[in-house]
Amino acid sequence: MKIASVIVDVPTSQTNHTFDYQVPKSLQGIVQAGVRVIVPFGRRKVMGFVMELKEESDFDRLKEIEEVLDLIPVLTPELLKLGKWLANEMVSLYIQTYQAMLPSILKASYKKEIEKLTDEDLPESMETIFAGRHVIDYDEFVERQGKLNELRKQIEEGNVRFQYIVKGKENRKQLLFLEAAKDVTLLEEALLDIPKRAKKQREILQFFIQNEHPIEQRILFQQLKTSSSTLQPLVDKGLIKKTYKEIYRNPYEDSQITPTQALPLSEQQNKAIEPIWQSVAGNLHEIFLLHGVTGSGKTEVYLQAIERVLDKGREAIVLVPEISLTPQMVHRFKGRFGKDVAVLHSGLSQGEKFDEWTKIQRKEVKVVVGARSAIFAPFENLGIIIIDEEHETSYKQDEQPKYHAREVAKFRGEYHQCPVVLGSATPILETYARAKKGVYSLLEMPYRMNNNAMPPVEIIDMREELHAGNRTMFSRRLIDAIKDKMDKGEQIVLFLNRRGYSTFVMCRECGETVKCPSCDIALTYHKATDELKCHYCNYHIRMVHECPTCQSLSVRYFGTGTQKVEEALKQLIPEVEIIRMDVDTTRKKGAHERLLSQFSEKKAHILLGTQMIAKGLDFENVTLVGVLAIDTMLQLPDFRSSEKTFQLLTQVSGRAGRHHLPGEVIIQTYTPEHYSIELASQYDYEQFFYKEMEMRKQFRYPPYYYLTLIHVSHPNEIKAYEVTKMITKLLRKHLTDQVTILGPTPSPIVRINNRYRYQCMIKYKNEPNQLATIRKILQYYHDEMIKNDLMIQVDLEPYQLM
């Protein structure tokens, strides 16, 4: 096996294939499929992944692999295969797909250096840049106006050398430990030789006579109140030696985790778990939909299913939406499986993620709980994959490769012959339809634990409030209910879909709204900073008080954001304590956890927030959930808007009365008759499913048809339009007449960051030519995409039509 085929880290379609390299003698046996290598590529050096080893190549004059970055492959044979499949399926590049499977810290970093080889002085302009150093950065050379032709001449003359440096960025965290370098008896002898007045030295030595285990230097110094000046003589005498120990960064070090035992299962839990256990026992690949209402005890089913998997010596992946990867959730898994659990989520630093990933790679853990990308955990003996809240949009990656974790889970489940469990109270229509058809096995858990009823939902028609002269954003009913709960010492969750203070700012004289100069979207007023912010790019300006168009002073706020709700509520109920949770208050690391624990310690009456409070939270003292305005969501130009509204309402409602205290839910809306709202208030998923399926059938949407969205953007609107038009034309020409091709249409937000956005959509049932055609189109526009700032993005089975 002297030849390796390598996917190189050059993300273009022209290099989207393997390149063969000779494995030099010194690296034979070390280079294997799945390791990262550094290879010469043209004049440069690049990182690459070894796909396979082979004896022969079609290519002569192979170059040699220069360096191997891993001793243990970072990609298992399964992941290599998966990446290949995924890249083809998603029309993305192999290298992008493989990078997406690994912690980002494993991406190579590239540097160019200039090294001075002679003791003689270089030309003066170069000497000033070198400033006495031997090696400088090429980028620094260019930045400081270094002359390239001069550099070239010096290279030719052999006075300087030009080097490409490729490095993995990863480093393992190491700590300095001390241990005895000799036998205890020898140490005792040495103790006699140490002068009496060297008191501290004797103390240190005595410590090691009594403790044979290595100790961290920092801790020893703390304990004995000494420092390295005292230690050094002992090290010099060879009595004590320094060692480095690799440790893992432990993000959960400080939190106390109480071990838990399996809870007795309810009847419905038993019924649901039995088929999963059978599938685990028989090593059968089966896809389950666990359709259980909020509070029905799905997590306990997951935990006990995993227990069986671990008993068989196999491993488990649990995916949770990023947003609900709360400390509460992590504690449940750590409580049950202790040190066998690795946790992966975006709140971790790059280094922490890498450490958790390393534990998986080394098989030091058996269970991984994580967000989307945890689906690529490098386990080799998977026994179950669980996707909780499978309808969550965060399971679809919105960058290349635009994969959905569910599809990856199916691939891995099939590969390992193990069950995949999709859990949700409100599965997305595609999933439920498949379960109904028998493609997935449907497991129903229609009741809450302890037979708690779902909290009753009251719908308040805000139009009537307006007629009755109530111009505030709170219905009289909601205010009364809030006061009532506050009197009883119970807590309230208020949900609003908008952050900021108000949704837009408009001039009453001329009706002009203040818009972002680079995006086609109204700016949002943020009171805390007195700024207008664009939520799509990071544009922000001071609040304007004079209309930019007509110079009148009638600029007013419209719409409602979380900040404004907080303020308005404090005016109505002065004694109320509110914790506000949105992107703005949780930006800082750990803020999320801090706010939640403050609320659970009853430091506030109300938890007010956006999307992020809708999911997974479980506070026993919450008895009222209020939804302030759901209508904005229903009006979104997206075929899933009804479904998303239904899901959100159901989830928010589930936050109330989860324990002993009965709960209630109040939904304020201007469209109380909409079926999503009405059926969500009755907790009737089934009814909603049939109703929504009818709509989907009528308008040719999933699950009846598959969708592909092709999104084109360019700084010039006409160009963006023309390209999109051309693409629709090409599609119509090459695809069968069974498909519907819509477009070109402007995106819901036509301009973001000064780029105009157009799109076209393909609706199809079965279109074998589709991927090949799309690939050809991308090929056709390839040059323009690089040179002309054109962007074409392909999204198969999109989640968002924006």
Partner DNA sequence: AGCACGCCGACT
Partner DNA sequence: GTCGGCGTGCTC
Q: Could you list the residues known to form a binding site for Zn(2+), using ranges.
A: 507, 510, 516, 519, 534, 537, 547, 550
Token output for 476? 């009289």
Nearer to DNA, 235 or 778 (CB): 778
What are all long-range contacts of 8-11, with beta carbons under 8 Å and residues at least 24 apart? 8/39, 8/41, 8/46, 8/47, 8/48, 8/95, 9/46, 9/47, 9/48, 9/95, 9/99, 9/107, 9/108, 10/41, 10/46, 10/95, 11/93, 11/95, 11/96
Q: How far is the CB of 720 from DNA (least distance, A)?
A: 19
Nearer to DNA, 31 or 180 (CB): 31
Instruction: Please report whether residue 704 would count as binding DNA according to CB under 7 A.
Output: no
CB-based contact 358:106 (threshold 8 Å): no
User: Which secondary structure element, helix H or strand E, spans residue 494, and what is its range?
Assistant: strand 491-495
Tokens 């599965």 belong to: 427
What kind and span of H or E run contains 762? strand 755-764
Of the residues 2, 10, 265, 730, which one makes contact with DNA according to CB under 7 A: 10
Between 55 and 94, how does the x/- string for binding to DNA read (CB under 7 A)?
--x-x-xxx-------------------------------
Q: For residue 42, state whether it binds DNA (rule: CB under 7 A).
A: yes
* Six-digit token string for 753: 């960051």
**Which two structure tokens, joined as six digits, stand for 158?**
């052999």
In the complex, minimum distance from the CB of residue 614 to DNA, in angstroms, rounded to a whole number: 39
Binding residues, as ranges, are 507, 510, 516, 519, 534, 537, 547, 550
Q: How far is the CB of 19 from DNA (least distance, A)?
A: 4
Contacting DNA (CB under 7 A), which of 55, 120, 145, 149?
A: 149
- Sketch the per residue contact string, 232 through 261, with DNA: x for CB under 7 A, - otherwise: ------------------------------
Min CB(126)–DNA separation in Å: 15
User: Which span sits near DNA by CB under 7 A: 15-23, 277-285, 354-362, 708-716?
Assistant: 15-23
CB of 542 to DNA, least distance (A): 38
The size of the interface with DNA (CB under 7 A), counted in residues, is 27
SS3 of residue 359 by DSSP: helix
Q: Cβ of residue 74: shortest distance to DNA, in angstroms?
A: 22
Quick one: tokens of 83? 């990446």
Q: Per the structure block, which two tokens stand in for 234?
A: 């002992």
> Exposed e or buried b for every residue in 721-754, given b needs 16+ CB within 10 A?
bebbeebbebbeeebeeebebebbebbeebbbee
118 C-beta neighbours (distance < 10 Å), count: 11
397 touches 100 (CB < 8 A): yes
- Whether the Cβ atoms of residue 169 and residue 161 lie closer than 8 Å to each other: no
Q: Helix 429-437 and helix 685-698: axis angle, to 10°?
A: 100
CB crowding 602-625: b at 16 or more within 10 Å, else e:
eebbbbbbbbbbbbbbbbebbbbb
Under rule CB under 7 A, residue 43 binds DNA: yes
Q: Give me the least distance between CB of 759 and DNA, in Å please.
A: 22
Residue 58 or 253: which CB sits closer to DNA? 58
- The residues facing 708 across adjacent strands are 762, 796
**DSSP summary character for residue 338:** G
Name every residue whose Cβ is closer than 8 Å to that of residue 706 and which is 6 or more positions away in sequence: 763, 764, 765, 767, 796, 797
Per CB under 7 A, the segment of 13-21, 438-446, 556-564, 582-590 that binds DNA is 13-21
- Which residue number, 449 or 785, has a Cβ lying nearer to DNA? 785
- Of 14, 256, 258, 261, which one interacts with DNA (CB under 7 A)? 14
Q: How far is the CB of 13 from DNA (least distance, A)?
A: 8
Assess contact for 498 and 631: CB atoms under 8 A.
Answer: no
The only residue of 1, 30, 44, 123 in contact with DNA, by rule CB under 7 A: 44
How far are the Cα atoms of 79, 266, 683 from residue 272, in angstroms, in the given order?
A: 31, 10, 20
The residue from 15, 417, 716, 745 that contacts DNA (CB under 7 A) is 15
Q: How far is the CB of 122 from DNA (least distance, A)?
A: 18
With contacts defined by CB under 7 A, name the span among 6-14, 481-489, 564-572, 612-620 that binds DNA.
6-14
User: Is 226 an interacting residue with respect to DNA (CB under 7 A)?
Assistant: no
Shortest distance (Å) from residue 536 CB to DNA:
24
Region binding DNA by CB under 7 A among candidate stretches 17-25, 165-173, 304-312, 446-454: 17-25
Q: Indicate whether 40 belongs to the interface with DNA (CB under 7 A).
A: yes
Q: Any contact of residue 141 with DNA (CB under 7 A)? A: no
> Near DNA by CB under 7 A, which window of 54-62, 264-272, 458-466, 484-492?
54-62
Q: Is there binding between residue 112 and DNA (CB under 7 A)?
A: yes
Whether omega for the bond prior to residue 703 falls within 30 degrees of 0, making it cis, is yes
d(CA 620, CA 689) in angstroms, rounded, equals 30
Please state the closest distance from residue 54 (CB atom) to DNA, in A.
Answer: 11
Instruction: Record the tokens describing residue 301, joined without a space.
Output: 């089913």
- The CB-of-164 to DNA minimum distance in angstroms stands at 7
- Distance from chain centroid for Cα 326: 14
Beta carbon nearer to DNA, 164 or 780 = 164
Radius of gyration (C-alpha) of the chain in whole angstroms: 31
Instruction: Please say which residue, 9 or 300, places its beta carbon nearer to DNA.
Output: 9
* Strand (E) or helix (H) holding 138: helix 138-143
288 sits in the region (left: phi over 0; alpha: psi -120 to 50; else beta) called beta
Considering only the stretches 19-27, 187-195, 386-394, 522-530, report the one whose residues sit in contact with DNA under the rule CB under 7 A: 19-27
**Peptide bond between residue 744 and the one before it cis (omega within 30 degrees of 0):** yes
Which residue from 2, 20, 52, 328 is in contact with DNA, where contact means CB under 7 A?
A: 20
Amino acid letter, 271: K
Q: What residues numbered 163-182 form the site for DNA, per CB under 7 A?
A: 164
786 binds DNA (CB under 7 A): yes
Name the minimum Å distance from CB 62 to DNA.
Answer: 4
3-state secondary structure 375-408: HHCCCCCEEEEEEECCCCHHHECCCCCCCEHHHH
When binding is defined by CB under 7 A, the residue of 23, 37, 41, 727 that contacts DNA is 41
Residue 793 CB, shortest distance to DNA, in Å, is 14
| φ, ψ dihedrals at 38, nearest 5° | -110, 125
Residue 12 contacts DNA per CB under 7 A? yes
Residue 679 half-sphere exposure toward CB, CA atoms < 13 A: 19
Which residue lies nearer to DNA by CB, 38 or 234?
38
In Å, what is the CA distance from 147 to each residue of 43, 139, 197, 506? 20, 12, 63, 54
- Of 41-49, 199-207, 264-272, 468-476, which segment contacts DNA by CB under 7 A? 41-49
What is the biggest distance separating any 2 CA atoms in the chain, rounded to whole angstroms?
97
Question: Cβ 149 to DNA, closest distance in Å?
Answer: 5
Segment interacting with DNA, rule: CB under 7 A, options 14-22, 95-103, 240-248, 757-765: 14-22
* Binding pattern for the stretch 728-767 against DNA, x by CB under 7 A and - elsewhere: ----------------------------------------
> Per-residue contact track with DNA, 516 to 545, x per CB under 7 A?
------------------------------
Based on the shown chain and the rule CB under 7 A, indicate whether residue 21 belongs to the binding site for DNA. Answer: yes
State which residue, 16 or 417, has the beta carbon closest to DNA.
16
Among 85, 110, 704, 721, binds DNA (CB under 7 A): 110
Q: Which is nearer to DNA, 40 or 275 (CB)?
A: 40
Contact set with DNA (CB under 7 A): 10-12, 14-15, 18-22, 39-44, 57, 59, 61-63, 110, 112, 149, 164, 786-787
